[in-house]
Amino acid sequence: MPAERRFLRYTVYDAAPALCAAANVALLVGAFVLFPSLPWWAATLCFCAIIFCYCWNVQSISHNFIHNPFFASEWLNRAFSVLESIAIGVPQTIYYHYHMNHHWGDNDAPGPDGVTKDWGSTYRHGKDGKPEVFWKFCLVGYFRFELAPVFRMIGRHGRRHVLLVTAESLALGVFWGGMALWNWRTFLFFYLPSYYLGWVLVYAHTYMLHYGAKPGNHYANSVSSYHRLYNLVFFFNGYHQEHHWDPKAHWTRMGEVRAEILPEMIANETRVWRGPHITGFLEEWLRREQGAMPAEYAPAEEARRAA
């Protein structure tokens, strides 16, 4: 067995997101402790960096860990799950089940019963069969996080998941309680606003991962971005249509999945963003203003160019 397989389950490259998660927690703790003594510009920089890190972590580190746990040891995976719970401010096991439900529903439109299978679908609170308005989805989405079905799912998965979510919740509670006791003002006016705005950014990014896609079409139910720097930083989460086609494919294999399904993506006019997903709303506005291309999808030539 290769040396890295004794520690990392799939590839040595998974050391990168694992170390980034530790750095994320270090940033949270360091910024919180130093905040009262920081000059305004440094405090502002830390505030913005933390907001970005919620989106970055949830959409890349936490996301990839859900589909392909990094470590060969189950105990190390559990410990990392606790660390991730502190980093994203939500028990990782809760996010795991919420995200797996997302793949079950694939951001579906409401069925005959008027309800979506995907609890977090952009269509779930929309009207007339259309996605919810972008800003409402982003600003209110966190408060509509449906815990009851998640807890039912955790219960069905047995004792191991129940114990893990309990440990994650306790660790997160101790982390929050410790910050509040250390400096309640910093907790109230620095940590909580950055936490909320970070999740607003998460929901904005999520919205653009499926904006203009075609629910029910397995080759066009998501929107991809092949922006190189974005994919490098987000551990290839830009290949989102490819990921929805094969959720178990490791993040280092997204190029292979793209090559496999590219003809079908072109045939189904799968939408592609030119830039990162998070700037998609600006890209869409420019498209509409300039009339450069239809609002519904990117042309097949764009997908060919990306390949």
* Interval 177-219: pLDDT, tens: 999 999 999 999 999 999 999 999 999 999 999 999 999 999 9
DSSP 43-111: HHHHHHHHHHHHHHIIIIIIHHHHHS-SBSSHHHHHHHHHHHHHHHTS-HHHHHHHHHHHHHHTSPPP-
| φ/ψ bin of 106: left (φ > 0), alpha (ψ from -120 to 50), beta (otherwise) | left
Q: What share of the chain is helix, strand, coil (3-state, %, to 5)?
A: 70, 0, 30
Spell out the residues 6+ positions from residue 140 whose beta carbon is closer than 8 angstroms to its own: none
**Mean pLDDT for the stretch of residues 41-51:** 97
pTM over 0.85: yes
Say if residues 198 and 54 touch (Cβ distance below 8 Å).
yes
The C-alpha angle with vertex 160 and arms to 157 and 162, in degrees rounded to 5, equals: 75
Give the pLDDT band (50/70/90) at residue 5.
low
Residue 180 to residue 188: CA distance in whole angstroms: 8
End-to-end Cα, the chain, rounded Å: 34
Q: Could you read off the pLDDT of 122-148 as tens digits, one per residue?
A: 999 999 889 999 999 999 999 998 899
Beta bridge partners of 225: 273
Tens-place pLDDT, residues 78-131: 999 999 999 999 999 999 999 999 999 999 999 988 899 999 999 999 998 899
User: Could you tell me the pLDDT band of residue 6, with boundaries at 50, 70 and 90?
Assistant: confident
* Residue ranges of domains in the chain: 1-183, 211-307
* pLDDT tens per residue, range 261-281: 999 999 999 999 999 999 988
